[in-house]
Structure 1
Amino acid sequence: MKDQANVLSGFNGVLAPGVKPALLVIDFQRGFTEAGVSPLASDCSAAIASTNRLIAALRETGPVIFTVVGYSANYADIGCWMQKCQSLSTLVRGTAACELDPRLDFDAQRDLILHKTQASAFFGTALPGILAAAHCDMLVVAGCTTSGCVRASVVDAMQYGFPPFVVRDCVTDRSAAQHESNLIDMSSKYAEVVAIDAMLAELGSIAGQQLPA
């Protein structure tokens, strides 16, 4: 899905899959996935269902990390972002908007939740150190939104040296146009964008076993 103009400009490389994957599930929290909880919400049902397939496949081969974006009640930690998006004010820590979507196969005994205040999962969090300690050489990415926190995290993943693999069935956006445009751009410059069946096959190869469909 690489844009032809980018290919002709030299943006035509391919990231090689690694052997130490980690899964990053970005902001599938009720404020983004459940109507009525926040104006930021949209229908993420299909992406969440596909993400659960990824979680089941990856738990035996690497860490599964979830992020939640949220703020203190006085917004002292939001910076200037709310000047552009006033609906971020609905994402207050301790409220329903900052709870993981209950449809996710989150395991509190095995998985990790990172709390963030900005778009990138790397900004102001322990994520780089966690991935380095796990010897991660392949970051599988799911979550929302494609044009926002997913893209920001993918760009930082590349810059920190953790090759990102975006599973297109597992990311979503309020805008279909922005979703597709950002998938094309990430594929051209910053990541591999792959279908879930291809990613499950790759994870099966890494784990040395057939994974469930």
Structure 2
Amino acid sequence: MVIPGAPSEAEIRVSSNGEEILLRRSDDHIGIRMPEGEGFGLRAVPMATTSPAGFGWIGNPQLVLRVPSVSAVDLPVFAPPLRHHAALQGGTNVNVVEVLAPGEARIRSWERGVEGETLCCGTGCAVAAAWLASTEGITTWQLHTASGEVVTVKLELDAKGAWRNLWLSGPVRRLGVVHPDPALLQRLRS
């Protein structure tokens, strides 16, 4: 979405409940700096997997598995046993990645709560790129999502798997306008 009269590049800081959110707009792309600090980052994979795997916390749990071809994975069969694995109390999102070239990969995501494949999981893309950065040594990734769009992730990663300045960016377009029921808004205010 391009805002008429807005500069071609802009940075916006929003603070809420002690957390700061930083957004950047450049032409038709929006970037968001993902959460960082204590508790956020890559962690040990909590279970055995048949594919190389990474695991991370970015406000929700993300399991990432590297596969030869994301299109060959029957995600509705492959993901649910991992999503509900006993080693992960509360479950996890499951992401499969296929590296296409240095700094470029395809990704498909199975999200908890949705209990299905989504066109793009931003937090899954962020953790997948962080894990790929840790294994490949490349800190900028172009991820081709199931929607066909490309998400870019740039980050700094330390030796322990903690990230800093993890930016997720991609194209933005308005899909519609939601008008909540006034009764819902009143309940939220009380």
Instruction: Give the TM-score normalised by the residue count of structure 2.
Output: 0.29
Q: When you count strand as a share of all residues, which structure comes out higher?
A: 2
